[in-house]
């Protein structure tokens, strides 16, 4: 299956441009000038000229040499992983996590803090900027070499426009130009996506790269899912793909959801909903994290209600799994390492066809709280280091 770059290159006839050669080097297809000639059929002179452009642009390192098979040892071409730096933020309902990463995805500096997404875009984005500046200081990286910013938010995102639409738990953010706002300050591409989408992408790339479909469900204050199909986030026509938290369940008509409807999955099975049910039953529980504290202490009501909530998610996921036949269903968020997952498995395997679950892994996030940051990094890399983007920048320099 060709990558998007390759598909674009083939459709425009712009094959084997410098940007495309960089893609081939980055993904390990070729390592030397000779291998590029063999792979692309380009002449030695053309390869030399395109590699020179990439070297001058700082995209490549050529320090190491490949083992010689007689004659001169070949110079190894490597992507310069310090060509730029990426700032990533993963904003949840009540917490934010921030990182500065190099292009290989190594975390150079990281911070987490409590925040209230409902306090609106100005306050929250000011907080992001302050922390980004601190991360750069901490790692002694200048803001001039930041090449892109990736942001995950807990709501439905219009990815191309870089804003959220009618987010149930983000009052004040509807239509706010998040990407434009940050682009003005940083003067680099800013990309925004839903938090669960980015976590799904991060987890997929790190642990299920060959999986045709990977599904990640984040269960914390609310419930959201991200779907990665053939290595790309699947967003649907309105950015609504994966929004399973607001599927309405039978028999829960009295449960009011944050979206205003009644009986949503998130209104009965999220960490926030279970905590509210515990509090109503006389066991004060402070949100999703308060629930986890009860679970860690073995509080019997918490264990029972959490398991039932997991079963409700499992019931909804049975349909999803039969539709997508994914390799992995990854549970992330506050409830990932609790009795919730056992409940999910019970109901999912009971209801889904054996054919859809034979090779299925139902597991918890291995990147844990860094999943969204790595997804944001991958999103920015895809954009800033795509063949087309690299060619455009090289063209601008040449002109």
What would the two tokens of residue 99 be?
Answer: 């990182």
Given the rule CB under 5 A, which of 26-34, 193-201, 238-246, 389-397 is the region that contacts Zn ion? 238-246
Question: If you ran DSSP here, which 8-state letter would residue 177 be given?
Answer: -
* CA-to-CA separations, 187 to 58, 144, 176, 223, 396, in angstroms, rounded: 20, 9, 18, 34, 17
How many residues sit close enough to Zn ion to count as binding (CB under 5 A)?
5
Check binding of 86 to Zn ion (CB under 5 A): no
Strand ranges, E, within 125-261: 146-153, 157-158, 163-164, 190-194, 213-219, 223-229, 232-233
Instruction: Return the bridge partners of 227, or none.
Output: 215
Q: Which is nearer to Zn ion, 92 or 168 (CB)?
A: 168
Residue 203's nearest CA partner among 31, 71, 332, 32 is 332
What would the two tokens of residue 271 be?
Answer: 């960490």
Given the rule CB under 5 A, which of 220-228, 240-248, 318-326, 354-362 is the region that contacts Zn ion? 240-248
Q: Which is nearer to Zn ion, 108 or 259 (CB)?
A: 259
**Using alpha carbons only, how large is the chain's radius of gyration in Å?**
23
Check binding of 257 to Zn ion (CB under 5 A): yes
Q: Which is nearer to Zn ion, 259 or 324 (CB)?
A: 259
Rounded least distance, CB 245 to Zn ion, Å: 6
Check binding of 259 to Zn ion (CB under 5 A): yes
Cβ partners under 8 Å of residue 266, min gap 6: 222, 223, 245, 246, 257, 258, 259, 272, 273
- Cβ contact 382:159 at 8 Å: no
Check binding of 388 to Zn ion (CB under 5 A): no
* Of the residues 30, 131, 264, 273, which one makes contact with Zn ion according to CB under 5 A: 264
What would the two tokens of residue 393 be?
Answer: 């920048």
Q: Which is nearer to Zn ion, 167 or 287 (CB)?
A: 167
- How far, in Å, CA of 352 to CA of 357, rounded? 7
Q: Which is nearer to Zn ion, 160 or 174 (CB)?
A: 174
User: Positive or negative, the Cα torsion across 237, 242, 245, 247?
Assistant: positive
Given the rule CB under 5 A, which of 5-13, 41-49, 61-69, 254-262 is the region that contacts Zn ion? 254-262
Check binding of 182 to Zn ion (CB under 5 A): no
Given the rule CB under 5 A, which of 55-63, 87-95, 103-111, 251-259 is the region that contacts Zn ion? 251-259
- Interaction residues for Zn ion, span 113-132 (CB under 5 A): none
Residues that bind Zn ion (CB under 5 A): 246, 257, 259, 261, 264
């Amino acid at each position: 299956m060709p990558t998007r770059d390759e598909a674009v290159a083939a459709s425009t006839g712009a094959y084997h441009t410098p940007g495309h050669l960089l893609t081939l080097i980055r993904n390990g297809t070729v390592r030397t000038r000779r291998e590029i000639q063999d792979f692309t059929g380009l002449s030695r002179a053309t390869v030399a000229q395109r590699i020179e452009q990439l070297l001058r642009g700082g995209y490549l390192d050529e320090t190491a040499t490949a083992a010689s098979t007689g004659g001169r040892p070949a110079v190894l071409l490597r992507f310069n992983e310090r060509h730029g730096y990426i700032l990533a933020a993963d904003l949840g309902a009540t917490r934010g996590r921030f990182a500065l990463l190099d292009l290989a995805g190594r975390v150079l500096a990281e911070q987490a803090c409590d925040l209230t997404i409902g306090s609106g875009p100005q306050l929250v984005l000011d907080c992001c900027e302050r922390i980004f500046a601190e991360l750069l200081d901490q790692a002694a990286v200048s803001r001039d070499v930041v090449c892109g910013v990736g942001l995950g938010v807990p709501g439905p995102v219009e990815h191309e426009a870089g804003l959220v639409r009618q987010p149930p738990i983000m009052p004040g953010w509807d239509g706010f130009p998040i990407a434009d706002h940050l682009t003005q300050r940083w003067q680099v591409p800013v990309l925004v996506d839903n938090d669960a989408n980015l976590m799904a992408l991060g987890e997929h790339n790190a642990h299920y790269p060959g999986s045709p479909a990977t599904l990640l469900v984040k269960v914390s204050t609310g419930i959201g899912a991200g779907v990665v199909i053939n290595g790309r986030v699947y967003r649907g026509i309105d950015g609504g793909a994966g929004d399973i938290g607001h599927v309405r369940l039978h028999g829960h008509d009295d449960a009011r959801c944050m979206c205003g409807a009644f009986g949503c999955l998130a209104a009965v099975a999220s960490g926030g909903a279970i905590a509210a049910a515990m509090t109503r039953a006389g066991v004060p529980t402070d949100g999703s994290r308060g629930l986890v504290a009860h679970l860690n202490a073995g509080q019997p009501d918490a264990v029972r209600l959490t398991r039932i909530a997991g079963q409700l998610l499992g019931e909804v996921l049975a349909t999803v799994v039969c539709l997508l036949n994914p390799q992995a269903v990854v549970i992330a968020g506050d409830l990932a390492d609790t009795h919730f997952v056992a409940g999910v498995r019970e109901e999912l395997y009971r209801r889904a066809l054996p054919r859809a679950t034979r090779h299925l892994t139902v597991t918890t996030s291995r990147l844990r709280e860094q999943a969204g940051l790595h997804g944001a990094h991958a999103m920015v890399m895809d954009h800033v280091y795509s063949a087309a983007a690299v060619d455009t920048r090289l063209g601008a320099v040449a002109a």
